[in-house]
């Protein structure tokens, strides 16, 4: 279900109305159901993977932190996984028809999906094995039991992610490598669809087990609260990636509502729709006209399309985070800030403190720090590059994403070397205003090229576009489609809002505007959003990650 769809426009008021009428525990149960409906709207089969991740990490968390599960905890977790397999992948609900002269009719020949039956058998087998070995695991000494629980969580999550996101990618890469050696190989591929948001909730569930192992968190006994933590619908599909020590307490404790929180939530939703509908969708056609073209693009076309892609990916991704945070505020639950005017960065280190903050801090805490821990002085540069290479692979199963990650890894390594030698690279050193502007402009240019690597469809396109930019091929001829009017009006307004936030260091600076100015701002945002409804709707870019 898309935030900018009519379905969500109908879904959200129903959820808010039911939420307002229930007490705390009832609110959580309703939110869990709503989250499963929200995610299952794409494909109900995806819900089985969320249920699997939920059960595995709930079980592992208790094994790490409490040594054993009670009989009731094992029964609840086992039942949840079994029923999820039955309801979401085994039964073919399209075989059941409601209405008509016969009332309810069932096509028994297609009621059970053959692959779903295997999934149900696998779920039952997993439940049986887990319960069988539970007593044996509890007899292990504490250190072995904790490590076993941790590695079970990590391996299970990465296995599911690897199969659904990377299996065909690595098989295809192996075929290409063998063909390069003169071997005509046709390896097995899986006919599977990439589940929406799988990278986000996989990282979110893994850090639960890791934090328990690091003794930074105690496992929760409440299975349904943990299931809500995993599936919480506002940030489920494209983040921000929430930490368990932050989101779980907010879910487990009663919420208190204040008018200012509701106002802030509504503004974030308005701002997110403005970014997505008016700007991101308004420039998408321009970017696609160059990057999806099979013809020859001029250097000016490539530069303009790349700069507009920077605008598109920022508005598209930050829009999702803004709407997610806004919807969550209406529920009385705060989510972390994921963007802080990233294109005003003057160095790669500052950029990753402003862009996709929840992912960059996750990679820092759970990947970079363990890599560099043993030998900080010698391993820091290698750790930076490895971390960013894996960040690129996290973004997508394609080598251009890996190249993009490696590019940023090298930038971070070079920045680390020269940080204290070049004042413009060190945010702790005071510099002149013109030096600041020059630093921001320089890094924006470098970052634009990195996003060319990110957006390109192949290495050949990267080479052709880079060559065209360097040589000036095609001159100043511009054949790219122009942005829509909503984007042309919206980009300067967004730049002004980001400039105010950057100069004041306060995302709430707009609240200090005079009442008439705030009213004019809200009215103009709504006007441009209505104008942007004429743009061709596009799916959020980060849904593919």
What amino acid positions are annotated as catalytic residues?
Answer: 395
Backbone angles phi, psi at 98, to 5 degrees: -110, 145
d(CA 458, CA 243): 35
CA-derived radius of gyration, the chain: 25
292 CB-near residues (< 8 Å, 6+ apart): 457
Candidates 354, 529, 415; CA nearest to 3 is: 529
Three-state DSSP at 510 gives helix
**Pair 90, 116: CB distance under 8 Å:** yes
d(CA 518, CA 521): 5
Three-state DSSP at 91 gives strand
| Cα angle for residues 454, 457, 463 (degrees, 5° grid) | 85
244 CB-near residues (< 8 Å, 6+ apart): 204, 207, 208, 211, 217, 229
Three-state SS for 376-408 is: HHHHHHHHHHHHHHHHHHHHCCCHHHHHHHHHH
- Long-range contacts of residues 424-428, Cβ cutoff 8 Å, at least 24 apart: 424/346, 424/347, 425/346, 425/347, 426/347, 427/346, 427/347, 427/349, 427/350
453 CB-near residues (< 8 Å, 6+ apart): 400, 403, 404, 407, 462
The region that residue 31 occupies, defined by phi over 0 for left and psi between -120 and 50 for alpha, beta otherwise, is alpha
Beta bridge partners of 97: 105
| Cα of 366 vs its chain's centroid, Å | 17
Q: What are 93's two structure tokens?
A: 């609900």
**Pair 202, 161: CB distance under 8 Å:** yes
Residue labelled with tokens 């999820």: 84
Nearest 10 degrees: CA dihedral of 389, 390, 396, 397?
90
Nearest 10 degrees: CA dihedral of 476, 481, 486, 490?
-40
d(CA 469, CA 439): 21
């Amino acid at each position: 279900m898309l935030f900018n769809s009519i379905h969500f426009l109908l879904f959200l008021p129903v959820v808010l109305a039911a939420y307002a009428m229930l007490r705390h525990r009832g609110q959580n149960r309703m939110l869990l159901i709503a989250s499963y409906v929200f995610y299952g709207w794409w494909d109900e089969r995806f819900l089985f993977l969320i249920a699997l991740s939920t059960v595995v990490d709930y079980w592992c968390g208790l094994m790490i932190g409490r040594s054993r599960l009670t009989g009731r905890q094992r029964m609840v977790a086992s039942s949840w996984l079994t029923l999820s397999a039955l309801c979401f992948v085994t039964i073919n609900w399209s075989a059941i028809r409601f209405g008509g002269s016969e009332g309810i009719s069932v096509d028994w020949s297609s009621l059970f999906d053959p692959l779903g039956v295997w999934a149900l058998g696998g779920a039952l087998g997993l439940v049986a094995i887990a319960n069988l070995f539970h007593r044996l695991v509890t007899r292990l000494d504490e250190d072995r039991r904790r490590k076993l629980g941790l590695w079970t969580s990590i391996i299970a999550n990465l296995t599911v992610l690897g199969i659904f996101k990377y299996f065909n990618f690595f098989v295809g890469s192996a075929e290409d490598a063998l063909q390069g050696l003169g071997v005509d190989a046709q390896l097995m591929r899986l006919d599977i669809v990439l589940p929406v948001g799988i990278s986000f909730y996989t990282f979110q569930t893994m850090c639960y087990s890791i934090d328990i192992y690091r003794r930074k968190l105690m496992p929760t006994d409440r299975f349904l609260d943990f299931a809500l933590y995993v599936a919480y619908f506002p940030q489920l599909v494209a983040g921000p990636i929430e930490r368990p020590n932050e989101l779980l307490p907010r879910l487990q404790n009663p919420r208190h509502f204040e008018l200012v929180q509701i106002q802030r939530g509504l503004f974030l939703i308005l701002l997110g729709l403005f970014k997505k509908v008016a700007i991101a969708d308004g420039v998408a056609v321009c970017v696609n006209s160059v990057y999806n073209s099979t013809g020859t693009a001029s250097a000016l076309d490539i530069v303009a399309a790349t700069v507009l892609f920077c605008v598109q990916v920022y508005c598209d991704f930050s829009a999702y985070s803004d709407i997610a945070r806004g919807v969550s505020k209406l529920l009385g639950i705060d989510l972390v800030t994921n963007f802080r005017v990233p294109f005003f960065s003057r160095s790669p280190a500052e950029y990753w403190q402003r862009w996709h903050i929840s992912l960059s801090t996750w990679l820092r805490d759970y990947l970079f720090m363990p890599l560099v821990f043993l030998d900080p002085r010698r391993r820091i540069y290698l750790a930076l590059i490895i971390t960013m290479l894996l960040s690129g692979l996290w973004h997508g199963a394609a080598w251009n994403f890996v190249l993009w990650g490696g590019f940023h890894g090298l930038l971070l390594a070079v920045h680390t070397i020269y940080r204290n030698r070049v004042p413009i690279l060190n945010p702790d050193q005071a510099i002149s205003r013109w030096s600041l502007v020059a630093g921001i402009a320089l890094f924006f240019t470098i970052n634009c090229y990195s996003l060319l690597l990110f957006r390109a469809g192949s290495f050949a396109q990267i080479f052709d576009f880079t060559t065209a930019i360097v040589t000036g091929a095609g001159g100043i001829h511009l054949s790219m489609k122009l942005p829509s009017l909503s984007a042309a009006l919206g980009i300067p307004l967004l730049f002004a809002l980001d400039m105010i936030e950057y100069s004041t260091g306060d995302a709430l600076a707009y609240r200090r505007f005079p009442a008439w100015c705030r009213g004019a701002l809200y009215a103009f945002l709504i006007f441009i959003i209505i104008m942007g409804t004429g743009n061709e709707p596009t799916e959020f870019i980060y849904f593919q990650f």
